[in-house]
């Protein structure tokens, strides 16, 4: 059944987003969804396809899991603050409820901002897209707390005292969790997070969790004086909706990230037989200016501002339906 109302709502939301950024002098950009290389992210599975050309040579290409790989190249080439609404693709995720392999993503980068500035900007954005029917759980003000505060409050584990792996494993086991030998710090942390923290987060207002552990490797800058990163995630009504970094600018750190994560990715994908995307070494030679980038899943945001419990009714052609019933 096609839901015309939710299409109107989506159109209004996208217009409100464009008005919001245009009035603040952000440049809207339109970058490809097919890319010959990706940023290595071992936990995100990719869609692979092939460009066939007998004159120029054929080439494996990938559907982007996020437009970051292009938008950062633009920032490094002198573009102003940017935003984009694009289709993104993640493979191997569960269908239905809050996942569809093809989804709509809003990504915005603000020059000179840190991740805390992005919280205020995102609060204003949520005010700009709100609708008369938007439930109060999707409206500012946000509840902001650090990951370590949340972990302490909901599991009793003090992350500052659990930086050594053996300590963290012990803490997880004391909570009754099973931890196999040889697991990494971030995997054991996620066991605690998924079991105790995520389900307990407040649901009456959007929650912004700041300062993620540095052990979860990503291109968010690491703090000089504490074992965390300049990164936050936003949860609305228990669903993860946004992710934000103060972007890494050091070529050396980016190169180390690329090499380490790509090695991990190749190892995992060889075992699972899933596509191994290419990476481009020129990416870590880019002069990326200081900025903060936010990515928001727009199907989930629309679900929240219209007070729905899942994204499937908001999609005209959810993949789960196409698989089950055909078009």
Binding site for other proteins (CB under 8 A): 41, 43, 92-94, 97, 99, 178, 180, 186-187, 190-191, 193-195, 198, 212, 216-218, 233, 240, 243
Smallest gap from Cβ 186 to other proteins, in A, equals 7
Give the other-Cβ count within 10 Å of 103's Cβ. Answer: 20
- Cα 133 to chain centroid distance, Å, stands at 26
Smallest gap from Cβ 199 to other proteins, in A, equals 9
Nearest Cα neighbor of 303 from 318, 288, 290 is 318
Q: Considering beta carbons, is residue 78 or 180 the nearer one to other proteins?
A: 180
Secondary structure (DSSP) of 161-202: GG-SHHHHHHHHHHTT----TT--HHHHHHHHIIIIIGGGS-
Contact (CB, 8 A) for 311 and 303: yes
Q: Which residues contact 42 (CB under 8 A, 6 or more apart)?
A: 261, 264, 265, 268
Q: Considering beta carbons, is residue 61 or 106 the nearer one to other proteins?
A: 106
Smallest gap from Cβ 216 to other proteins, in A, equals 5
Q: To which residue do tokens 């509840």 refer?
A: 143
Smallest gap from Cβ 217 to other proteins, in A, equals 8
Q: Considering beta carbons, is residue 61 or 145 the nearer one to other proteins?
A: 145
Q: Which residues contact 166 (CB under 8 A, 6 or more apart)?
A: none
Smallest gap from Cβ 96 to other proteins, in A, equals 10
Smallest gap from Cβ 19 to other proteins, in A, equals 28
Q: Considering beta carbons, is residue 180 or 326 the nearer one to other proteins?
A: 180
Residue 111: both structure tokens together? 């020059």
Instruction: Determine the number of helices (DSSP H) and then strands (DSSP E) in the chain.
Output: 9, 11
Q: Considering beta carbons, is residue 135 or 238 the nearer one to other proteins?
A: 238
Q: Considering beta carbons, is residue 9 or 261 the nearer one to other proteins?
A: 261
């Amino acid at each position: 059944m096609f839901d015309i109302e939710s299409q109107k709502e989506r159109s209004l939301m996208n217009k409100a987003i464009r008005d919001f950024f245009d009035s603040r002098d952000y440049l809207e950009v339109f970058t490809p969804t097919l890319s010959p290389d990706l940023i290595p992210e071992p936990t995100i599975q990719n869609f692979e396809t092939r460009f066939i050309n007998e004159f120029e040579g054929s080439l494996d290409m990938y559907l982007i899991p996020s437009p970051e790989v292009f938008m950062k190249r633009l920032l490094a080439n002198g573009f102003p603050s940017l935003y984009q609404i694009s289709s993104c693709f993640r493979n191997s995720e569960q269908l239905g409820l809050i996942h569809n392999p093809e989804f709509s993503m809003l990504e915005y980068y603000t020059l000179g901002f840190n991740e805390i500035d992005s919280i205020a900007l995102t609060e204003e954005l949520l005010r700009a897209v709100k609708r008369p029917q938007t439930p109060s759980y999707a409206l500012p003000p946000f509840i902001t707390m650090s990951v370590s505060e949340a972990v302490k409050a909901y599991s009793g584990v003090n992350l500052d005292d659990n930086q050594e792996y053996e300590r963290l494993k012990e803490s997880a086991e004391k909570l009754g969790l099973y931890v196999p030998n040889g697991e990494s710090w971030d995997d054991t942390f996620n066991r605690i997070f998924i079991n105790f923290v995520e389900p307990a987060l407040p649901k009456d207002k959007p929650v912004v969790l700041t300062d993620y552990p540095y052990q979860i490797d990503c291109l968010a800058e690491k703090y000089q004086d504490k074992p965390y990163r300049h990164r936050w995630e936003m949860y609305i009504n228990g669903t993860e909706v946004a992710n934000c970094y103060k972007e890494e600018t050091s070529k050396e750190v980016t190169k180390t990230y690329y090499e380490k994560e790509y090695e991990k990715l190749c190892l995992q994908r060889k075992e699972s037989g899933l596509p191994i995307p290419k990476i481009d070494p020129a990416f870590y030679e880019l002069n990326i200016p200081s900025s903060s980038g936010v990515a928001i899943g727009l199907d989930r945001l629309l679900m929240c501002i219209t007070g729905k419990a899942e994204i499937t009714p908001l999609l005209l052609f959810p993949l789960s339906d196409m698989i089950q019933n055909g078009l």
